[in-house]
């Protein structure tokens, strides 16, 4: 709104307005001087006889939080006692509130995986929808089976790719990072389709079936995250599975691991790799959630001990101590 006080382009801007609106603004516009922001804090000139200051001894600008528009120190006195809203809300939460937040965040991530997989498979979904709405003769006879199978497989595989790429993990990330994972899952899915097409073509022509690198191999995922173009290039030998997931299995009971491995063995060989990666991604997320729950219990136990030492223990603190909760 700087043109209200005049400027280089003020007359040109006002000429483009509706005449009645222009007359109103000319009558109601402030007539005083244009308000100005406080100037940037001036640096004190260094004295000639003073010894040269090192970088550690140099005077620092007044600290302001990242929420301030002026990072050079202006209005620093107004931000002196600022506490972010999220911190204030966390301080007022009870143990039950914090545990509920952890579970809700995990459930929200699971629900979001379904929404993102549907978004990545929007073309397959629209093909199925158009088939149901205006089916041809063969499509009506088969009840759009081909289109439904294509969409269902896209939705299922993209969901597993999202889990394998770590979308379920409880780590804090920005919307841009979430969108990047979504694009990576879509890239890897289309690379998988390209590999399957080359395998089918080789079978039809009677040629040896080409062997490809796993779609979810460390190298493939790194190329997808780097934004490089992915192609289904045959390799001479299949890569050995990565051993980076041993840490995840270390937290799983032996009987549970045997059950998981038995379920994976019943899946077709061509689908076992990304099924295994999706399972490990889900187990990694569950382990992270359990760790956050444990940290919440420890923090709450420490707070109970502090209140008891200060003579401010509540009835709930006393009951939990009698029940052996510390």
Last residue of a domain, one of 240, 259, 293: 240
Last residue of a domain, one of 172, 197, 224: 172
Query: Do residues 105 and 167 share a domain?
Result: yes
- What would the pLDDT profile of 114-156 be if each residue is shown by its tens digit? 999 999 999 999 999 999 999 888 888 888 999 999 999 999 9
Instruction: Flag whether 293 is in a domain.
Output: no
Domain that holds residue 268: 242-283
Q: What is the model's pTM? A: 0.66
Query: Do residues 147 and 198 share a domain?
Result: no
Query: Do residues 161 and 198 share a domain?
Result: no
Instruction: Flag whether 30 is in a domain.
Output: no
Please report the pLDDT score of residue 125 as a whole number.
94
Instruction: Flag whether 122 is in a domain.
Output: yes
Q: Which two tokens stand for residue 224?
A: 């997808």
Q: How many domains is the chain built from? A: 3
Instruction: Flag whether 141 is in a domain.
Output: yes
Highest mean pLDDT among 3-12, 183-192, 238-247: 183-192
Query: Do residues 208 and 262 share a domain?
Result: no
Query: Do residues 221 and 254 share a domain?
Result: no
CA distance 252 to 23: 75
Report DSSP state, residue 221. Answer: H
- What would the pLDDT profile of 214-244 be if each residue is shown by its tens digit? 888 777 777 666 655 555 556 544 444 455 5
Please report the pLDDT score of residue 228 as a whole number.
54
Instruction: Flag whether 259 is in a domain.
Output: yes
Instruction: Flag whether 97 is in a domain.
Output: yes
Instruction: Flag whether 59 is in a domain.
Output: no
Instruction: Flag whether 99 is in a domain.
Output: yes
Strand partners, 189: none
Q: What is the mean pLDDT of the chain?
A: 78
């Amino acid at each position: 709104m700087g043109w209200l006080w005049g400027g280089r382009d003020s007359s040109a801007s006002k000429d483009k307005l509706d005449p009645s609106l222009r007359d109103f603004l000319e009558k109601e516009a402030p007539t005083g001087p244009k308000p100005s922001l406080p100037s940037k804090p001036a640096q004190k000139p260094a004295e000639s006889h003073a010894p040269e200051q090192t970088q550690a001894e140099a005077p620092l600008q007044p600290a302001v939080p990242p929420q301030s528009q002026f990072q050079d120190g202006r209005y620093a006195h107004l931000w002196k006692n600022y506490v972010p809203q999220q911190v204030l809300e966390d301080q007022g939460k009870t143990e039950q509130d914090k545990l509920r937040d952890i579970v809700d965040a995990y459930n929200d991530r699971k629900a979001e995986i379904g929404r993102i997989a549907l978004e990545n498979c929007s073309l397959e979904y629209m093909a199925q929808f158009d088939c149901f709405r205006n089916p041809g003769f063969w499509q009506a006879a088969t009840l759009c089976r081909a289109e439904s199978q294509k969409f269902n497989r896209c939705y299922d595989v993209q969901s597993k790719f999202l889990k394998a790429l770590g979308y379920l993990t409880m780590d804090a990330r920005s919307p841009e990072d979430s969108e990047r994972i979504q694009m990576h899952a879509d890239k890897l899915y289309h690379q998988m389709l390209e590999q399957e097409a080359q395998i089918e073509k080789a079978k039809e022509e009677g040629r040896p079936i080409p062997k490809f690198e796993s779609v979810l191999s460390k190298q493939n995922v790194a190329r997808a995250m780097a934004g490089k173009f992915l192609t289904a290039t045959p390799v001479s030998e299949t890569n050995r599975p990565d051993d980076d997931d041993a840490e995840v299995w270390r937290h799983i009971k032996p009987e549970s691991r045997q059950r998981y491995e038995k379920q994976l063995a019943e899946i077709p060989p061509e689908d076992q790799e990304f099924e295994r990666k999706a399972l490990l991604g889900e187990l990694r997320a569950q382990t992270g959630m359990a760790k956050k729950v444990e940290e919440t219990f420890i923090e709450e136990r420490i707070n109970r001990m502090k209140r008891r030492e200060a003579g401010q223990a509540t009835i709930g603190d006393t009951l939990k101590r009698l029940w052996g909760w510390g």
